[in-house]
Structure 1
Amino acid sequence: MNKIDLQANAEDNDERAFVPARLGTRLRLARQTLGMTLKALAKAADCSESLLSKIENGKASPSLPMLHRLVEVLGTNIGWMFEETDGDEGIIFRAGTRPLIALDPLRRGEGISLERIIPYSAGHLLQCNIHHIEAGGESAGPIQHSGEEVGYVLTGSIELMVAERTFKLSAGDAFVFKSELPHWYRNVGGDRASIFWVNTPATF
């Protein structure tokens, strides 16, 4: 499924509309809790005040590098920004019911969507998604944070860049590296690629 699919069913559309709204609300809450103005946060996170206002109002979504800068300035973490459940009630997540999200749905060229395996929640020590990358798609980055990354290529061919090294991976290949190393990836095949990706939530 393409991350921007105007023919998506109503349930998917509702979910995708909800993600930016929830993110914006929590971003505004974190900013106001610190007593920061919109202008001060925009300057500290190196982004425009107008874009930040749109994000807080659910009218735009940040790229992943921008989101990392925002949570670093606010002293929070990405997991909290997307947290969906309270406590530990969630155990089973059925096929076909997992949300498909995009951090930056307005940037069509990236061609990246994330299928959440488990919801973002304070009750989980790890984050787990399937990264779906369309042909020619490339992740925003490089990014880096504390923790560890583990992945397994389900389908397709990708290039994984970690610090100064580049690795070409195909279905069945796996990887692990420290999240502190700058990293990003791109689809170098002619078909969609998918990566089962587990990582420690970014905290600052």
Structure 2
Amino acid sequence: MDIGKRLQDLRKAHGLSQRELAARAGLTNGTVSLIEQNKTSPSVASLKSLLDAIPMSIAEFFATIEEAEPTKYFYTVDEFTEIAPQSGQTAVSLRQLGNASSHTLQILDETYPPDADTGPELLTHAGEEAGIVTEGEIEVTVGDQIRVLRAGEGYLFDSRLPHRFRNTGKTPCRIISACTPPTF
């Protein structure tokens, strides 16, 4: 998927200039321009801020409309949708099961390499989210609480609370998570 082109098309469809979108998202005009030209990949938090300004969820942004196809219940590993368009050694991978825009539940397979995080800005969105760490460890910030969770431990919180995920460990961290409704 061409992230920059998709963002540009959405911005224009909503009658926003790059400057207006940047102001609403709390980013610079230059950042929006670089993202639209695919010269930089947005952090999860930056993309979330841009889409909140439109408004649209990350799930909707990456959804492919395939309504003509029969109902699908099972997915192979290569049928998940990557919704964290980053690259590099510390890029977060958020792989979504199915098309969350057609369900009331969003399931993600998340991978955080060492030193990876969701971005310096804390995330907020409507709904609740929960997850279980299956490998490694992750530092989770929710409101004013910070906790390092290890394999087998989990979290559950109101997603309207500011939150952030950061791998401060030396090995990759993997989380299976859920968000309802799918507003992320």
Output the TM-score relative to the length of structure 2: 0.83
Deviations 1:51-81 (A, max 9, x none): 3123224443222222222122212222221
Partner Cα separation in structure 2 for residue 89 and residue 179 of structure 1: 29
Q: After the TM superposition, which residues 1-204 of structure 1 pair with which residues of structure 2 at under 5 Å, given as runs?
A: 18=1, 21=2, 23-87=3-67, 89-100=71-82, 102-105=84-87, 108=88, 110-116=90-96, 118-140=97-119, 141-200=121-180, 201-202=182-183
Any idea what SS the aligned residue of 1:122 has?
helix
Unaligned runs of 5+ in 1: 1-17
Change (3 A) 1:101 1:129: same
Query: Amino acid of the residue matched to residue 132 of structure 1?
Result: T
Change (3 A) 1:137 1:70: closer
Shift of 1:29: 2.6
Any idea what SS the aligned residue of 1:153 has?
strand
Any idea what SS the aligned residue of 1:44 has?
helix
Is 2:126–2:183's contact at 8 Å kept on the other side of the alignment? Answer: yes
Q: Which moves more between the two structures, 167-176 or 29-38?
A: 29-38
Partner Cα separation in structure 2 for residue 82 and residue 30 of structure 1: 12
Change (3 A) 1:136 1:77: closer
Change (3 A) 1:65 1:95: closer
Partner Cα separation in structure 2 for residue 99 and residue 82 of structure 1: 7
Partner Cα separation in structure 2 for residue 101 and residue 144 of structure 1: 17
Partner Cα separation in structure 2 for residue 150 and residue 137 of structure 1: 19
Shift of 1:83: 0.6
Any idea what SS the aligned residue of 2:16 has?
coil
Partner Cα separation in structure 2 for residue 101 and residue 72 of structure 1: 15
Any idea what SS the aligned residue of 1:132 has?
strand
Partner Cα separation in structure 1 for residue 167 and residue 124 of structure 2: 20
Change (3 A) 1:50 1:30: same
Unaligned runs of 5+ in 2: none
Any idea what SS the aligned residue of 1:30 has?
helix
Output the TM-score relative to the length of structure 1: 0.76
Shift of 1:101: 5.5
Shift of 1:93: 1.0
* Matched-pair identity in %: 28
Shift of 1:109: 6.5
